[in-house]
Amino acid sequence: MRPNIITISREYGSGGRDIGREVAQKLGIDFYDSELVKEAAIESGLQLEVVEELEECRNATLFSTEDRLDSNTLQDKMYLAQSNAIKQFAQKGPCVIVGRAANHVLAGRDDCLHVFVYSHMDHRVRRVAERLGLTEEEARRKIEKVDQARAAYYHYYTGEEWGLARNYHISLDSGFLGVVGCAKTILNKVPPAWKPHEVRAC
Amino acid sequence: MRPNIITISREYGSGGRDIGREVAQKLGIDFYDSELVKEAAIESGLQLEVVEELEECRNATLFSTEDRLDSNTLQDKMYLAQSNAIKQFAQKGPCVIVGRAANHVLAGRDDCLHVFVYSHMDHRVRRVAERLGLTEEEARRKIEKVDQARAAYYHYYTGEEWGLARNYHISLDSGFLGVVGCAKTILNKVPPAWKPHEVRAC
């Protein structure tokens, strides 16, 4: 099997986005992350302001069982719009897609490499505090909140627990391996035939 | 950090044991798997027959909450004996240890690389049926039974769900990467300084 698409799911603050961008740059292929939301909004006709508001307040309480019974909620429309965007990006050609349960959305394709990136809390607290200029306590609270939202989102739309190794081809601890180490591991899984000639040494 | 010990946890039939042996051979270091049980039995003074009988009937029902309240059950004594054996093996020098929640037992050491190996059911059914001469249905039932026992064992003694990526440094899908591919990935994570000069090309 020759992968065309690399999806990266990640715990908040683990550097999964940086790893994805590094991999995409090295391979010279497209990279998609939060831009998906805007693309999805535009494609589906949802008001951009509404999508951004939903993004802001996205948390565990949004994904209750009662919501699940009504497939016409704004959340569900947004999920469908994002899923369509992910499928369209994947159709365009080789790319890296970060977040939004892309591994689940593209589960029907056999040309994907699905990756999960995580690291222990202390490592993530240091990264988030430094990047956003927060105290360690503020960073910890933000991480817990975002992870809770991602876990709820993933569970709600896939029925699976977030972070189970079996839902990915490779899972990597970025605190142990480092961002560069994780990128190298992913690049090593991409057959040479797929790599453009201009790929820089990693 | 320079790892001295590689632990491998694995779904039944995923080839985790073969991967561990391959890695140990390539690195020229010791390899431990089911021998742990006998070693533990001998070290702790437990009757070998009793240990083997426990191994045979090890299943989910053995690890109930009620059992947990009595730390003097034979299962707990066996777990402690095995844990001591794992710690002693790790003390001896660089090695690969497969199974028995070794990642949890050695959690206090910072010189370990903890790996989880898994693959989808169809891949494992084919492997187990071929290796043991079973029908696919028999292989599937055996896999489900052994995995259930391993999950219960892991949960009982660690309090964690079996197969969560965050409990390992790397998790690998052997159905996707292959046994050799998994071994290569692990070997790539071992700093060159650790590799003996006589390591063969992988």
Q: What's residue A49's pLDDT?
A: 61
- Weakest-pLDDT range from B61-70, B87-96, B179-188: B61-70
B62/B79 Cα distance (integer angstroms): 13
Helices vs strands, H then E, count in chain B: 9, 5
CB A179 within 8 A of CB A19: yes
Residue A196 has pLDDT above 70, yes or no: no
DSSP category for residue A199 = P
Q: Three-state DSSP class for A106?
A: coil
Residues of B with Cβ-Cβ distance to A1 under 8 angstroms? 176
In B, residues 142-161, which contact A (CB 8 Å cutoff)?
161
Q: Do the interacting molecules here have an ipTM over 0.85? A: no
Residue matched to tokens 């093996």: B89
The 8-class DSSP code of residue A198 comes to T
Reported pTM: 0.83
**Cα A68 to Cα A44, A147, A195, B101, distances in angstroms:** 20, 20, 42, 37
Binning pLDDT at 50, 70 and 90, where does residue A191 land?
A: low
Mean pLDDT of B166-174: 94
Residues of chain A contacting residue B113, judged by C-beta atoms under 8 Å apart: 176
Single-letter code of the amino acid located at B44: S
Rounded average pLDDT over B16-24: 94
Using CA atoms, how far residue A110 sits from A41, A164, B124, in Å, is: 27, 20, 18
Cβ-proximal residues to A87 (8 Å cutoff; 6+ apart), any chain: A105, A106
pLDDT at position A64: 47
Amino acid at position A171, single letter: S
Probe site for chain B from A1, A10, A124, A164 (most B CB atoms < 10 A): A164
3-state helix, strand, coil in chain A (%, to 5): 60, 10, 30
Q: Which two tokens stand for residue A146?
A: 């975002």
Residue type for position B176: F
Chain B residues with CB-CB distance to A189 below 8 A:
177, 181, 185
Residue with tokens 């491998």: B8
A163, A188, A189: residue with CB nearest B165: A163
Residue A116: which of B1, B118, B165 has the nearest Cβ? B165
